[in-house]
Amino acid sequence: MSGNKVSQSQTMELEKVAAYLEDLAASFKEGKIVVAKGDEFVTLTPPEQVFVEVEAKAKKDKNKFSLELSWRALGPVDGGESLVISSEEPEIEEEPEGEEAEEEVQEAKEKSEAPGEEKVEE
């Protein structure tokens, strides 16, 4: 019997979560996703473009990662800035503040001036 909705919420081991995500990725690559629970199932056929919504929250005693994938039968979805998901934290460059920032801007200007060119101050 084919239904139009199958859902489940439960706590599971990390290894099983990874297996679910791997199965989902493989199904997307095949172009057909079948979600089944007992004798109920839903078959989804994603198009070439899928809307992706990712949210990650880290609080004192609770973390949350949400992934929502959706699409319409017709029409492309507007893209945005690329989102990267990995197990590595990115290196963040700290921006200098106050006088340090002004000094760096001045140094950059001086380096960009061609040799022999006079510096004109306004």
Mean pLDDT rounded to a whole number for the chain: 79
Q: Nearest-5° angle of CA 23, CA 26, CA 27?
A: 85
pLDDT tens readout for residues 62-84: 999 999 999 987 655 566 677 67
In a domain, 108, yes or no: yes
Instruction: Report if residue 6 sits inside a domain.
Output: no
CA distances from 96 to 23, 88, 91, 110 (A): 45, 25, 16, 18
Least confident of 28-32, 40-44, 90-94, 111-115: 111-115
In a domain, 18, yes or no: yes
Residue 122 lies in a domain: no
Domain of residue 84 covers 14-73+80-112
Q: How far apart are CA 7 and CA 10, in angstroms?
A: 10
Determine the Cα–Cα distance for residues 15 and 2; give it in Å rounded to an integer: 29
Q: pTM for this structure?
A: 0.59
